[in-house]
Structure 1
Amino acid sequence: MWSYIIPIVTLIVGIVVGFIIGVFYLRRQMTKMQSNPEMLQKMAKQMGYNMNNQQIAKAQQMMKNQNSGGKANPGGAQNQNRNNPKFRR
C-alpha cells in the first residue's frame, strides 16, 4: 500500500514546489524587465512582436503600475476601448 501512496504524494509535492519556484522566478524576471528595455524587447521578439521605443516604454510603465498595486486605469477594459468605434455601445 505504501508503495502506491509515497510516489503519488512525492509527485504532488514536486508539482507544488515546482510551481512556487516558477512563480518566484517569473516575478523576478518581470521586475528585471522593468529597468532593462533591451530584455523586454528581446522577449517580445521571441514571441513574434517587434516593438518600437514608445511601445517598450508603455509596457514598462504598465508593469510598474501593476507591481506597485496602483490602478492606472480604474475603469478596466471599458476605458481602454472607449475611443474605438468598434467597441462603442
Structure 2
Amino acid sequence: MEWYNIVIPIVTLVVGAVGGFFGGVYYLRKQIEKMQSDPEMIQKMAKQMGYNMNKQQMNRAQNMMKNQKFPRK
C-alpha cells in the first residue's frame, strides 16, 4: 500500500501536464484564428513585443496569417 503514495502523484502529474499542454494548444490556436480577422489584435500583440507596425507591415502580417493553415485534429 505504500507504493500508492508514489504512483498516484506521478500519474496525476503526467495527466495534468498532458491535459495542460493540449488545453494550451487549443487556446493558442483559437487566439491565432481570432487574430486573422482582427488587425487590432495583431497591432496589440506587436506593441506588446516592442514593435511598431505601419499599415504595409500590418497588411503583410495579416496576409501571412490568413495563408497559414492550422490542421484540425
- Which TM-score band applies after superposition, normalised by the shorter structure? 0.7 to 0.9
TM-score (norm 1): 0.73
The alignment's C-alpha RMSD in Å is 1.4
| 1:1-89 equivalences in 2 (<5 Å) | 1-67=3-69
Q: Which has the higher contact order (CA 8 A, sep 6+)?
A: 2
Q: Identity, % of aligned pairs?
A: 65
Q: Give 1:34 deviation, angstroms.
A: 0.7
User: Alignment partner of 1:44: what SS?
Assistant: helix
Consecutive unaligned residues of structure 1, counting only runs of 5 or more, are: 70-89
Q: Give the match for residue 86 of structure 1.
A: none
What is the number of residues matched between the two proteins?
A: 69
Q: Give the match for residue 82 of structure 1.
A: none
Q: Which amino acid aligns with 1:10?
A: T
Consecutive unaligned residues of structure 2, counting only runs of 5 or more, are: none
- Deviation string for 1:45-66 (max 9, x for gaps)? 0011111111111111111111
Distance 1:28 1:16 in 2: 19
